[in-house]
Amino acid sequence: MQRVVVLMSGGLDSATVLAMAQAAGRAVHTLTLSYGQRHMAEIEAARRIAQDAKVDSHREIGVDLSAIGSSALTDVTIPVPEARNQEAVQNREVPVTYVPARNTIMLSVALALAESIGAKEIWCGVNAVDYSGYPDCRPEFIRAFEDLARIATRAGIQGDRILIKAPLIRMSKSEIIKAGTGLGVDYSLTVSCYQATLSGTACGRCEACSMRRLGFEGAGLPDPTRY
């Protein structure tokens, strides 16, 4: 069975990607990064999801991006904003919840793990449809990182490429939820809120909460989130 690394945030997107990888017959090794995020409840959520899915292995690695700051997700002095207006979303304005180079760092750690365990693919839940304007959630970023993996690893230069799989990248939030529900994902285990309490209770006001709520409404499914 082909080994793959799945980046697990503890949110509904990564839980869906995990289910997709298993449905594709992959041997899944999950990786969660504790990067100094304020919403630490997602770390515990990732553990629950990995355990529920009976993955082949689950790792948690710390990279403290709060030392860099400049993001509302890692700097407690910057308020987490409420959902933005439609004009800001349509203009692809990069919000204050953007964490500098976060996905680049996460994929780099995942790449190191993939090469060390002989995994041929890295699966991640980045999305370019209902995304928040983050530059590292776009298809061109994924393509560029895959090219980097080809030239920056022993596996790559020996012709054994490690592919970056982003199956949700062109799906809406409601489409993601429908797909995950069809695969048996238990979304009550997931945490999406940017400022969830340690017990996983969501604020119901931030953009992540808004996108999640609208996604369940669009899918015509009950939202299991604790607000």
Q: What is the pLDDT of residue 31?
A: 98
* Model pLDDT, residue 92: 64
Interaxial angle between packed helices 173-182 and 207-219, expressed in degrees from 0 to 180 and rounded to the nearest 10? 60
Half-sphere exposure of residue 159: CA atoms within 13 angstroms, side-chain side: 0
Q: The pTM is what?
A: 0.93
By the 8 A CB rule, do 49 and 192 touch? no
CATH topology assigned to domain 3-219 = Rossmann fold (3.40.50)
Residue type, 114: A
Task: Determine the Cα–Cα distance for residues 105 and 181; give it in Å rounded to an integer.
Answer: 30
Q: Which of 48, 23, 43 is nearest to 32 (CA)?
A: 43
Q: CA 91, CA 4: separation in Å to the nearest integer?
A: 35
Angle at 218 between CA 212 and CA 223, to 5 degrees: 45
Question: Which residue type sits at 52?
Answer: D
Going residue by residue through the chain (227 aa), what tens digit of pLDDT does each one get? 999 999 999 999 999 999 999 999 999 999 999 999 988 899 999 999 999 999 999 999 999 999 998 899 999 899 998 875 554 555 567 889 999 999 999 999 999 999 999 999 999 999 987 656 789 999 999 999 999 999 999 999 998 999 999 999 999 999 999 999 999 999 999 999 999 998 999 999 999 999 999 999 999 999 999 99
Local structure of residue 160 (DSSP, 8 states): -
Q: Are 110 and 5 within 8 A, CB to CB?
A: yes
The Cα–Cα gap between 132 and 136 comes to 10
Are 9 and 47 in contact by the 8 Å Cβ rule? The answer is no
The position carrying tokens 């999406």 is: 192
